[in-house]
Structure 1
Amino acid sequence: MLQHERKMTVTRKIPPHVFFFVSAVFHYLGPSFAVLLFSYASVLGVAWLRIASAAIVFAVWRRPWRIFPQMPWAKQRTLLALGIVLGLMNVCFYLAIARLPLGTVGAIEFLGPIALAALGARTRRNIVALLLAIGGVWLLTDVRFSGQPLGFLFAFANCALFILYVMLGHQIAQDGDAAGIDRLGAAMLIALILITPLGLGGALAALTNPLFVLAGIGVGICSSVIPYVCDQLAMARLSQATFALLLSLLPASATVIGVVVLRQIPSVLEIAGILLVVSGIALHREAEAQPRKQGTKPQLRKRRNVAKDQ
């Protein structure tokens, strides 16, 4: 117990932005290697390998099934929702990157969080920021829309699911670092149950080759274990709006990793679109906290009279 508390104390000393930076790097590093597995397993099979390997790691590391029966129904419902979102989000993401460049999918995915951040502070500045981001995504979609419309459908579905992931992730992170990670592990097991009928058949060919199995495990650790754990460590100490703002790193990291690992060189219009998205989030500002009102004038007058009588 003391050792566990000591580990949590160490993580508390690390700035939450560091966890977010690590998450941003691994968020697309794992999927970039997953693209290389598409020749040996179906897209849904690769998605299953990612979720299954991550679920196994969480099962061995955290044994998350212990906490589920002890939780009230409201929190169990949140975990079930997060598990479904994780499963569908991974499926849509892989179906998208099988048809579109990683940088394009990353920028579309980021449109959801910037809209979520914009809802936190409705100002003219933030409206302009949101319009810049929308313009950037429009450039990206316009570049390749005629070639892969289905890919954009999956990319935007992944974007919507990513919003739900941020919202539900913050809910399970409210009780602290360790509790959030345990609940994340439980949600990953739920995601595995959901996706197994869809992806296990497409992964059977890869399961016969130990090298591909190791690659699948690597994808799961890089794509789901490291970034999702880092997200929980960051979400436990950052507001939902601030976390959404920091997601500006995602389209940039997706493009860089796409170039380095997959040799996907972006066009001038794609670069312009990504820059517009990043510029939009850089322009965005979080709303300042409003001072709490002490009460209406009649209420204040009544309080003064009571104080005088006393």
Structure 2
Amino acid sequence: MTTRFQPGATHRLLPYAALAASITTFCVGTSFAKRLFPLVGAEGTSAYRVGFSAIVLLALVRPWRFGLARGDAARIVRYGVALGSMNLCFYMALRTLPLGPTIAIEFLGPLSVSLFHARRPVHVAMAALAVAGLALLLPLRVGAQALDPVGILFALGAATGWACYIVFGKRTAHLPAGQAVAFGMTSAALFVVPIGVYHAGALLLTPAWIGLGLIAALLSSAIPYSLEMVALKHIPAHSLGVLLSLEPAVGAVAGAALLGETLTPAQWGAIAMVMTASIGMIAASER
């Protein structure tokens, strides 16, 4: 007996393929961006990423077509500053930390937002699991594999920026699609690019490095965010959150494959604990 091909199966899998490609492209793009650090520094790389992303979004969305109230402008600025701070702190952390642990620590931001709105004991248990995972990443022991304390502080800064990004982003949800993101990224660029220029100066104008910066921006921002928008339209929020929780592990694999970063068993365990806490928090909230 022959099995008939179901054309709807491919259509149903497409959003999940887009999300997998989004996570992979982001981690690969971030690994590529990290190679720019010796050239223009983490600040300059952040300026490339946020600045080029803002230009691309402004060109594609053309957000000025829609009206904007004064109160909405203030909300977008707060949202943009949170977005810029998150990006800058994330790259500053990557100067001295491997990619996987950095993403894992950054995930404490959305976990904290979820915990703030949680009222069930299971949520507290998941938060305790995440804190235990963080404790494994902290430099509480001396050794060649101990993570840099300054890098951890910057990663925690990125987590704080991500939490503020979620809170302030929700306050712009009533605006037309794409307008808040385009204007928010522009606000982030106005905050981050001057910092990059101050630290890297005229090096940012090197033609070859501008091309590398554009590639890094496309791979780590424009392409993954676009693919994620495809996934958002078709994947339930619960499933989407669970799948996004796999990002620290993908980042660790990308860092090992592309940057030669090695992690200790304890650091792999910490990443697994943060991922489990994220998935558990989402699952408990759904129920």
Answer whether TM exceeds 0.5 for this pair.
Answer: yes
Q: Does 1:193 align with 2:193?
A: no
Whether contact under 8 Å (1:48, 1:195) holds in the other structure is yes
Query: Which whole-Å CA distance do the structure 2 matches of 1:25 and 1:144 have between them?
Result: 32
257 and 170 in structure 1: CA distance in 2 versus 1, 3 angstrom threshold = farther
- Which of 73, 77, 91 aligns to 1:80? It is 77
Map Cα deviations across residues 171-221 of structure 1 (whole Å, 9 max, x no partner): 44456xxx332321111111111222211241531422x332211001111
Map Cα deviations across residues 32-82 of structure 1 (whole Å, 9 max, x no partner): 111111111122111111111111211222222333xx1223322221112
Give the aligned partner of residue 265 of structure 2: 268
Letter in 1 for 2:44: G
* Deviation of 1:226 (Å): 2.4
Letter in 1 for 2:107: F
Give the aligned partner of residue 24 of structure 1: 23
Q: Does 1:278 align with 2:275?
A: yes
TM-score, scaled relative to structure 1: 0.77
Give the aligned partner of residue 302 of structure 1: none
Which has the larger displacement, 35-44 or 192-201?
192-201
* Deviation of 1:26 (Å): 3.0
SS of the aligned residue for 2:261 comes to: coil
Q: Does 1:253 align with 2:247?
A: no
Give the aligned partner of residue 152 of structure 1: 152
- Which of 86, 91, 94 aligns to 1:94? It is 91
Give the aligned partner of residue 57 of structure 1: 56
Whether contact under 8 Å (2:50, 2:193) holds in the other structure is no
Q: Does 1:207 align with 2:236?
A: no
Give the aligned partner of residue 227 of structure 1: 224
Whether contact under 8 Å (2:97, 2:147) holds in the other structure is no
**RMSD of equivalent CA atoms:** 2.9
Letter in 2 for 1:78: R
Query: Which whole-Å CA distance do the structure 2 matches of 1:236 and 1:203 have between them?
Result: 41
Map Cα deviations across residues 263-285 of structure 1 (whole Å, 9 max, x no partner): 11211110111111122223332
Whether contact under 8 Å (2:130, 2:277) holds in the other structure is yes
Letter in 1 for 2:277: G
Whether contact under 8 Å (1:174, 1:236) holds in the other structure is no
SS of the aligned residue for 1:41 comes to: helix
Map Cα deviations across residues 204-257 of structure 1 (whole Å, 9 max, x no partner): 31422x332211001111222223344555567788877655431221121111
- 5+ residue gaps, structure 1, are 1-11, 290-310
282 and 147 in structure 1: CA distance in 2 versus 1, 3 angstrom threshold = closer
Number of equivalences: 272
Give the aligned partner of residue 169 of structure 1: 169
Whether contact under 8 Å (1:34, 1:219) holds in the other structure is yes
Whether contact under 8 Å (1:99, 1:151) holds in the other structure is yes
Query: Which whole-Å CA distance do the structure 1 matches of 2:270 and 2:40 have between them?
Result: 32
288 and 156 in structure 1: CA distance in 2 versus 1, 3 angstrom threshold = closer
Whether contact under 8 Å (1:166, 1:240) holds in the other structure is no
Query: Which whole-Å CA distance do the structure 1 matches of 2:98 and 2:45 have between them?
Result: 17
